[in-house]
């Protein structure tokens, strides 16, 4: 079973969920806002992707951080702390299967290849 991690009001997450539903791909939705995220999950992801790809630096949550706060995010530990405190800063969506990231973000052609 796939798990899609994100927040429900994110447009990219909405596109991914719609695509999965329209293509009859079963998945569970993990809502960061309601369910949060734990350090163990983030640390597992960081064995697969660098923190620089998991932190969405183009998003509003990151851009609203002070220069000092941004400068303090410079390794796995500081990135993990940020992602736990501000789940909206995590790249969305993350699609996971059996503990492995299978997709980061949403690209229709990539989903077509992965899930068809």
- Using one digit for the tens of pLDDT, what is the confidence trace for 64-105? 999 999 999 999 999 999 999 999 999 999 999 999 999 999
* Catalytic residue set: 10
What is the pTM (predicted TM-score) of this model? Answer: 0.94
Tracing tokens 């969920």 back to the chain, one arrives at: 17
For all residues of the chain together, what is the average pLDDT?
A: 96
d(CA 105, CA 99): 17
* Predicted local confidence at residue 116, as pLDDT: 84
Domain that holds residue 21: 2-115
d(CA 114, CA 73): 32
Is residue 6 over pLDDT 90?
Answer: yes
Q: What CATH number did the domain enclosing 53 receive? A: 3.40.30.10
Instruction: Please tell me the total count of domains within the chain.
Output: 1
């Amino acid at each position: 079973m796939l798990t899609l991690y994100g927040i429900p009001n994110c447009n990219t997450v909405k596109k991914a969920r719609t695509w999965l539903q329209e293509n009859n791909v079963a998945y569970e939705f993990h809502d960061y806002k309601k369910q949060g995220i734990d350090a163990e999950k983030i640390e597992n992801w960081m064995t697969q992707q660098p923190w620089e790809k998991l932190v969405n630096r183009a998003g509003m949550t990151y851009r609203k951080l002070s220069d000092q706060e941004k400068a303090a995010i410079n390794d796995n530990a500081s990135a993990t702390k940020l992602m736990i405190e501000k789940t909206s800063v995590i790249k969305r969506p993350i699609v996971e299967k059996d503990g492995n990231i299978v997709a980061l973000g949403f690209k229709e052609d990539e989903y077509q290849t992965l899930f068809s």
